[in-house]
Amino acid sequence: MPRTKIDIANLPSVVTAERDGEIGFLRLSRPEKRNALNDTLVLGIEAYFAGLPNDIRAVVLTGDGDHFSAGLDLSELTVRNTVESVHHSRNWHRVFDQFEFGKVPVIAVLHGAVVGGGLELASACHVRVAERSAYYALPEGVRGIYVGGGGSVRIPRLIGASRMMDMMLTGRTYGAEDGLSMGLSHYLVENGAGLEKAVELAKRCAANTPMTNYAVMHALPRIADIDRPGGYMMEALMAAISSGSEEAQARLKDFLEKRAPKALHKG
Ligand code: 1HE
């Protein structure tokens, strides 16, 4: 099925919304500024997820042009005072949380610069596919600023606070292969192959029961943040709720009656 535009209210032109069946596509469409995240673009991301049709089961996020995103639009920083900067950062927190703890898994395709706020955006996605051209940096240190899009919360959970400290203090960059082994991406593919891989993964996510996806997206990261007894309790509740659904019961029956695929490793 060809991709079609999705009609979403208040979507600015720097964001492109499309769909192909139950997969939604969100494209950062500001390539002339290397997809630098200005207020319009961040609010466009918010509008996209707020207006996503209910029958979309997974989203693929990409950046137009040669780079995923050059991070915060630095031209906006020079016109904000301190309190406006706090509100600006809190705004990013709200928008990124909205989809990280949203309804559907988001698979990001990373290429070229994935830097500063671009890396913060990528780290809020559930699965990251990197093309070989992708590289990662946190140039905030060099620019005399600090991460503000949830980077200090999310990135240490991927690579550890110590590595993030080095990136920010020394301006160190990592290429796509290192990014894969460090946990910045989950998959590494050749240049130009990211979208196809992301769609394949999105289709697999979309085939899960909505309850399982909800548990993985909402309960798993929260369990990782809390104490063991609380974690065990939340896990037990999620396990009971998800296995009790009609859809889960039907899938279990399919396996027991030999109609479902086995969990084999294909290498
Ligand atoms: C920008 C931005 C931007 C490009 N804000 N305008 N992020 C950074 O420190 C990275 C800054 N960007 C770069 O280092 C380079 O642009 C790239 C390596 C990503 C790409 O280089 P290149 O040679 O392909 O493009 P360019 O010529 O540098 O940029 C093209 C245009 O985009 C140019 O504008 P023009 O009007 O002169 O054509 C650039 O000024 C513009 N541009 N990146 C504004 N970031 C919530 S807190 C998060 C804090 C951060 O993200 S800090 C990290 C910011």
Of 140, 196, 200, 257, the active-site residue reads 140
Is residue 84 flagged as an active site residue? no
Query: How confident is the model at residue 253, as a pLDDT?
Result: 94
Q: Which residue has the tokens 């032109």?
A: 13
The arrangement of secondary structure in 4-206, i.e. its CATH architecture, is Alpha-Beta Complex (3.90)
Measure the CA–CA gap between 138 and 142, rounded to whole angstroms: 9
Residue spans of beta strands (DSSP E) within 47-162: 58-63, 106-110, 113-115, 127-131, 135-137
Q: What DSSP character marks residue 116?
A: T
Give the angle subtended at the CA of 179 by the CAs of 49 and 132, to the nearest 5°. 85
Q: Is the CB of 124 under 6 A from ligand 1?
A: no
Type of residue at 80:
R
Pick the CATH number of 210-256 from 2.40.128, 1.10.12, 1.20.140, 2.60.40: 1.10.12
| 75 within ligand 1 shell (Cβ under 6 A) | yes
The pLDDT tens digits of the residues spanning 137-192 come to 999 999 999 999 999 999 999 999 999 999 999 999 999 999 999 999 999 999 99
Beta carbon of 73 within 6 Å of any ligand 1 atom: yes
Delimit the domains of the chain by residue range. Answer: 4-206, 210-256
**Stated pTM of the model:** 0.97
Catalytic residue of the set 120, 131, 200, 235? 120
Contact 205, 58 (CB under 8 A): yes
108 CA to middle of ligand 1, Å?
20
pLDDT digits (tens, 9 = 90+) for 34-43: 999 999 999 9
Respond yes or no: is residue 140 known to be catalytic.
yes
The two structure tokens encoding residue 16: 């492109």
Residue-wise pLDDT tens digits, 18-68:
999 999 999 999 999 999 999 999 999 999 999 999 999 999 999 999 999
- Residue with CA at minimum distance from ligand 1 atom 21: 34
Q: Is 139 in the pocket of ligand 1 (CB under 6 A)?
A: yes
> Could you give the 3-state DSSP secondary structure of residue 156?
helix
Atom 24 (ligand 1): residue with closest C-alpha? 34
Give the confidence band of 1 by pLDDT, cuts at 50, 70, 90.
low
Instruction: Work out the angle at residue 89's Cα, subtended by the Cα atoms of residues 45 and 135, and round it to the nearest 5 degrees.
Output: 65
